[in-house]
Structure 1
Amino acid sequence: MTDSASVDLPEGAELVPVERVEVLEVALPLLEPFVTSFGATAIRHVVLVHLFDADGVEGWGEAAPLDHPFYLPDTVSGALALLVEYAVPMCLRTGVTSPPDAASAMTPIRGNTFARAGLEQAYWTLASLREGVPLAELLGAHVERVPVGESIGFKRSVGAVVEEVQLRLDQGYRRIKLKIGPGWDVEVVRAVREEVGFDVMLQVDANAAYTLQDADALRALDQFDLTCIEQPLGFDDILGHAALQRRLATPICLDESLRSPADARRALDMDACRNVNLKPGRVGGISASLEIEALCRSRGVPLWCGGMLESGIGRAANLALAALPGFVQPADMSPASVLY
């Protein structure tokens, strides 16, 4: 198929089995709570995967679901258990020596995309270090810089949102994403547009806070020339998004609804979205992400790399992926020091 993709390791690459694995849960206190329609996050927990091969080369990966099951079913505690009880033993038992083989070894696992992605990422970074090649180059990218944007959560006032938007633009971010929800949408978007003008790339993210009955309220956002409205409806409501897209001029972007390359293909076929947020953890890892990148590139669909408030480990891998040519819009990324 024209929208399939894979990455081969460099010719002559020496593949060495992994001998030891550490799985660690870490707690990262945020500088200030990040507030969305799900609530406030003051401490971010993630799971780190640390691989050691027979030559002592090390690879790191990050599984970054949320603590709660309100974004998607995956949780931090579930990812930790899944890695220890199933994913790591499956890869060690089959003698995995390459990232694609790791993804294949974990194929029998249903769902649990963040856990699988974290372990596969560790194999990718291990391969990158063994070959002495940056991960972005190993994936096929040929650029040294990636444009990035910043996500602004709910604040104590509309004025506080406008203030942070201006700060992030002054720092060089190329796109602004505003978190919205019922009662916190048109007013805040209008205030930001009035402050920054229509030359700034602006989009909103609802985190599934609306229903199809809110179509008129969402259509009121059309006047602001937004890049997209991200995930306005339920996480599994692709049919509803297709119906909503027919009523909006603004492109819908899907996030939670896309958990695999098959989901992305189905949503695009149904015109349920015209913009795609790709989070490697949400779709099962870098190998699956490469398929979605190829799909969007072949169809001319705007694609960008989203974030999950990862540590620097997860962000580094996301930036490497976002350097691929199919990612045509700024990544949802900032230095970890902005949050932690």
Structure 2
Amino acid sequence: MSEQDTSKKPGFWKRLTSGLARTATSLTQGITDLVTKRKLDDETLEDLEDILIRADLGTDTAVRIVAAVAKGRYDQAIDPEEVKALIAAEVEQILQPVAQPLVVDGSKRPYIVLMVGVNGSGKTTTIGKLAAQWRAEGKKVVLAAGDTFRAAAIEQLKVWGERTGATVIAREPGADAAGVAHDAIVTAREQGADVLLIDTAGRLQNRTELMAELEKVVRVIRKLEPEAPHSTLLVLDATVGQNALSQVEVFTRVAGVTGLVMTKLDGTARGGILVAIASKHHLPVHLVGVGEGAEDMQPFTARDFSRALVGLS
């Protein structure tokens, strides 16, 4: 996101590796147990496919990896480290096209970012972290407390505003979220802001009335700015595993998701779900988070992630 990220990278790489350790351990232990003293016959390859599917990598990805492992090695012994390297290489190929940084288009002022996702995904915290990073780059930032269902979300955003020096637009709890978005766009224009980040209530994707409200927020934004939101980011909690796939489908349909942020990779053995999502939906993955601090969220890189996923240093 900025030049300063590179200086933090070694520390973040360590946190990503340790964050994905539970995923890597469950994945690699199964692989080691499987291929040690066994040849790559049909049964072994089928078992390998099962291990990959259980790691939430998805059926398509599992089939692709098994084909790559089997190629030229059928009925031969194979070292577990070689299998891990082959998995990492295939995963990197899947992730490379979607590993795209989140770029603020300076020609659009304010650049409007709509944040969507279910409760507990880390949406409001992600807004705060983005605000901190963009403020550090000297950008003028406005935050809209559009999660009017939770008083705590409004207060949390106000704290991030004070911490980062961003302007916060808020109304009382229970207020019309679309009205907050409207006020925020007007204020951001008046202040000449570079970026406007709009929070929304955490919606379970099966709550139709809340999804209707989200559609209303999008409509109000487009009335004021026909091209906006310029980015619609879906924040996904890695710990929910397969449920994240349905969240991507529903939020994309309702809000036109343009990119993903994956949080809580440090708290799960299901980090492989990001690969399944990338393989199925091909949406840009902008950022990954492995902790609470602003520096614990960094641009997503395919190579780092794919190697950490299988425990390669």
Which TM-score band applies after superposition, normalised by the shorter structure?
0.3 to 0.5
Q: Which structure is larger by alpha-carbon Rg, 1 or 2?
A: 2
Bigger relative contact order, structure 1 or 2, given CA contacts below 8 A and separation 6+? 2
TM-score by length of 2: 0.39
